[in-house]
Amino acid sequence: MSEAIDLIAASFAKTETGQQEIQKRSLGLAPLVRRLLVLVDGQRTGKDLAVFVAGNEVEPILQELVDKGCVEAKVAPAPVAPPPAVQEAPSANGLAVLPDAATRTPAENDMARNFMVNTVNTIFGQHARLTLIETISRSKTTDELRMAYLSWLQAMEGDRTGAKRLPDLREKLFKVL
């Protein structure tokens, strides 16, 4: 590799070699490396992909894929600083990528609230996690919903099924949260 790439900020796309590797498995990639290759879609950044390798560093895996010619980094756009209220939230929860709360409409808040309640009921069953459901239901503003999100996230991460489905659920929720 001739130039340094910010593996966290850059987005990645599969190369022809990467496409062939998915079909033929000729490079003998480790299962975790192969999983990350499969998830590369040209849109996700290294930060987005890190969610899928929880407990492991994403940079060495991405570097291996780049070095083997399976993926190529796209130039990352200049970062936009999140609003101060979002900056204070821990970056591991993903809230820093959300748009300013003031831009969200009451309808989007309703969709986010309903989504969180429905996922809790689906993952844990009706009448389970009532305190969490009440917290979500009482959240009227976007900022309140984002605080409730932290409890929702913790509950999902603590459940095997919830943790497995979390990346997809989070992506859908973040469209309205």
Q: Is 5 within a domain?
A: no
Are residues 19 and 88 part of one domain? no
Residue 148: per-residue pLDDT: 86
> What is the torsional sign of CA 59, 61, 63, 69?
negative
Are residues 48 and 100 part of one domain? no
Are residues 65 and 38 part of one domain? yes
- For the chain, give the mean pLDDT: 83
Write the single-letter amino acid at 91: S
Measured in whole angstroms, how far is the alpha carbon of residue 29 from the centre of its chain? 23
Q: Is 22 within a domain?
A: yes
Show the domain range for 141.
Answer: 84-174
Are residues 98 and 119 part of one domain? yes
71 neighbors 12 (Cβ within 8 angstroms): yes
- Give the global pTM: 0.46
Are residues 122 and 47 part of one domain? no
Are residues 114 and 50 part of one domain? no
CA–CA separation, 69 vs 27, rounded Å?
11
Burial class (CB in 10 A: 0-12, 13-18, 19+), 75: exposed
pLDDT digit string, tens, across residues 119-150? 888 888 777 788 888 888 888 888 888 888 88
CA–CA separation, 168 vs 106, rounded Å?
23
Q: For 78-87, what is the mean pLDDT? A: 49
State how many domains the chain has.
2
Q: Where does a domain end: 55, 74, 93? A: 74
User: Phi/psi at 89 (nearest 5 deg)?
Assistant: -70, 145
